[in-house]
Structure 1
Amino acid sequence: MNKILRPLSFSLTLLTILLISQPLMAKVYDMSNIKNRLIGEPIIHTAVEGDYFQQLAEDYNVGFLALLAANPKLDPFLLKPGTEVIIPNQMLLPYVPQVGIVINLPELRLYYFSPDENKVHVFPVGIGREGLTTPLTNTVVGQKRKNPTWRPTKEAQQRHFEEHGEYLPKEVPSGPDNPFGKYAIRLDTSEYLIHGSNKRFGIGMRASSGCIRMYDEDIEWVFNNVPKGTKVRIINQPVKMSYEKDGKQLIEIHQPLTDENEVTKDKVILTRALQRFVGTKREHWQQLIPVLDKPQGLVIELTE
């Protein structure tokens, strides 16, 4: 059986109370003494009457699809009181330089490595839907706009007409109907933005036309705290692995980022790096095969 890392019960209870008692923003992790890549702790939420996944995603500031993957046997809309829901707040840092903004598309998370504090801020994000994939790139934070005007591109106009039989307005001013929300950050001089949204649903999902969507509270923090010129790296790492200093062998697997026309759609590729990491122990593969078939996005310790 997969071994999901769990925190001490007292810390779990205290943290859960704090999380539920106030609106959440990014998770912030101190990295000053961390030599490992493991950060955070999983939280077990006990459902009460009226709980559902979208509300829990907002309460705990995690992605909707991340909740679905971590709890595949639960009904996201009808949670029975007393049901235990895994909140995926534990993760391995992506295997990239820990500089600026890193967006790992398969896990639908944005990492901001603070240059002055040895801390990493982690946010859920929405990304491009199938056929409109958010591009992999190394770029920088460009223009920053508060209360932006939305001007649909010609491609967006044509797609909307083909899907709905009518064209979008040429521009939408700031306000409740603006899909950019209150803040927008351009990636260098490209057409791609990191922006807010006028719809809470869609954060932590593949739902945009290629831009990066964030909760309004999160994009406001990024807008105010991440300077222009900060490096931005968008990557595709569905599998993250780590040998920790305490001897633990950890792996985290997410649903691969693929489009409908790809032969390997929804399949985790057994790269040489993955095979070397897992090794030849039968027990490791017995643990891993179910997760390869249905990735849960949870940190798993390979045990004998």
Structure 2
Amino acid sequence: MKDKPSLLFILLLLYSNFTIYSVYALQLPLPKNNESIIGHSLQVTAQKNDNFMHLARLYSSGFHELMEANADISPWHPLNGENVTIPTEFILPDAPRDGLIINLAELRLYYFDHHSKRLFTYPVGVGKRGWMTPVGKRVISHKLHKPYWHVPDSIREHYAKQGKYLAKSVAPGPKNPLGKHAMRLSHSSYLIHGTNKIMGISRRTSSGCISLFPEDIENLFNIVKINTPVYIVNQAYKIGEKDNQLFLEIHKPLYEFKATQNKLNQQVVYALLKYNQSQQYQLNWDKIIKVINEQRGIPTLISN
């Protein structure tokens, strides 16, 4: 069972909420048409007082991603000198390479900026259980600097049933959960926005919106234009090629889509066989089953 954070750690994290910034922002050259794997994973040595939340923000990774990749390490108290995998290599989701792609299963956003010929990728928070972020194609319809949060009736009613009564709107400032930047999706109530609670990034904590670290949303806000397409997908497993070899990346499915191990095996095997019809890779089934069972969220070689 994973250790829980101490109250002291949470207080320190909240106090330093906007003082820890990424020094490893993931900005990569746009991949070629036949490439589907980007980035490189890192191995770092945990220092005294390190934790996954600190490492995630430092390396533009996600808390959830670090937990998947380092299942045997305490996320809150890794041992001094312990090797930690920073999973910053990704198979691109199966979606058009145009605008924004948000993959709910991996809690990650990708932005294809064809103007600068760069690909930007960031960890995100998404809708919690019962408030799942809807999949589908949208566009950026509005960009809002220092937005007011006009609280949807559904959210106010939900909290009222718990004896918590929310105001109809929240002005810009430290108490506003949208942070300083927001982008509306297709004239709906759903937003891509910042946050005043960084512990919600790379977790399912929202009422359906997509949240980013403050520095990440500021960067995205400055380069994304109105009418940019947004593809929201839910892909727990991804298949990709690199250097004429085949790779598989599997994440733990969202709770609503959890399957039995046998069913997951069948889904992945079917997808691999379908993908391999035209490629004719020699598949290593022992490796494939290992990747399916471990679900570490790391691209792993599965061809001989």
TM-score if structure 1 supplies the norm length?
A: 0.85
Name the SS of the counterpart of 1:58 in structure 2. Answer: helix
Name the SS of the counterpart of 1:268 in structure 2. Answer: helix
Aligned to 1:85: 84
Q: How many Å separate the matches in 1 of 2:92 and 2:182?
A: 26
* Amino acid aligned to 2:198: R
- Stretches of structure 1 lacking an aligned partner (at least 5 in a row): 1-20
Aligned to 1:132: 131
Aligned to 1:191: 189
Q: How many Å separate the matches in 2 of 1:76 and 1:303?
A: 32
CA-to-partner distance for each residue in 1:117-139, whole Å, 9 max, x for gaps?
32211111100011110001211
Q: How many Å separate the matches in 1 of 2:274 and 2:186?
A: 38
Aligned to 2:9: none
Instruction: Calculate percent identity across the aligned residue pairs.
Output: 36
Structure 1 residue 64: Cα displacement: 0.8
* Amino acid aligned to 2:184: R
The answer to whether the 8 Å contact 2:142/2:183 transfers is yes
- Stretches of structure 2 lacking an aligned partner (at least 5 in a row): 1-19
Structure 1 residue 263: Cα displacement: 6.8
Name the SS of the counterpart of 1:270 in structure 2. Answer: helix
Matches within 5 A, 1:1-304: 23-24=22-23, 26-31=25-30, 35-163=34-162, 165-244=163-242, 246-259=243-256, 264=259, 268=264, 270-271=266-267, 272-277=270-275, 284-304=284-304
Q: How many Å separate the matches in 1 of 2:258 and 2:85?
A: 32
* Amino acid aligned to 2:252: Q
Q: How many Å separate the matches in 2 of 1:88 and 1:167?
A: 40
The answer to whether the 8 Å contact 1:143/1:186 transfers is yes
The answer to whether the 8 Å contact 1:278/1:285 transfers is no
The structure-2 alpha-carbon separation of the partners of 1:277 and 1:31, relative to structure 1 and needing over 3 Å to count, comes to same
The answer to whether the 8 Å contact 2:281/2:303 transfers is no
TM-score if structure 2 supplies the norm length?
A: 0.85
The structure-2 alpha-carbon separation of the partners of 1:277 and 1:140, relative to structure 1 and needing over 3 Å to count, comes to closer
Q: How many Å separate the matches in 2 of 1:278 and 1:80?
A: 42
CA-to-partner distance for each residue in 1:50-107, whole Å, 9 max, x for gaps?
0001111111111110000000000011111110000010011112221011111111
Q: How many Å separate the matches in 1 of 2:172 and 2:114?
A: 32
